Structure 1
């Protein structure tokens, strides 16, 4: 999961550098007024999202498998706790009725 995040961040930073170069060389339009920094970040996000979607497909699938496994382990742990609580409750009720 960390690997995917770092790879996605790397693609964004690469796009940020390219967009910054294009804007300051005059090949891409500048933002309005003082919004030039926000404009560059927005363009970098706009370009990096589809690139990440295509390039990181396998890594994203690996990360999603890890997330699903983690959720399944948590569900199993919660179910085990629930069944322990149920059996403890049943035991205490059986002792209460026997008295």
Structure 2
């Protein structure tokens, strides 16, 4: 996941540099007034998103598989803990019921 994030950030920084060069060389339009920095960042985001979507498809799929494995493992651990709690509760109830039956037998 970290690798995918760093690669995506790298693509954004590359696009940011390219857009900055294009804007300051006059090939791309400048922002209005003092908004030029924000304009450059927005253009870089617009260009980097589809590039990341296409170029990082394999890494995104691997990251997704890792997340699914972690979620499945967490679900399995939760289910194992639930069954342990249920078994302990059933044992405690069974022991208590046997004790009550023995007390009733002694009282009779």
TM-score (norm 1): 0.95
Determine the structure 2 residue equivalent to 1:39: 39
Measured against aligned partners, the alpha-carbon deviations of 1:36-79 in whole angstroms (never above 9, x if no partner) come to 11111111010000000001111111111111111111111111
Q: Is residue 6 from structure 1 mapped to residue 21 from structure 2 by the alignment?
A: no
What is the RMSD of the two structures over their aligned residues, measured on CA atoms? 0.8
Correspondences of 1:71-90 after superposition (within 5 Å): 71-90=71-90
Determine the structure 1 residue equivalent to 2:16: 16
Q: Which has the higher contact order (CA 8 A, sep 6+)?
A: 1
Q: Which has the larger radius of gyration?
A: 2
Unaligned stretches of 5+ residues in structure 1: none
Give the aligned length.
99
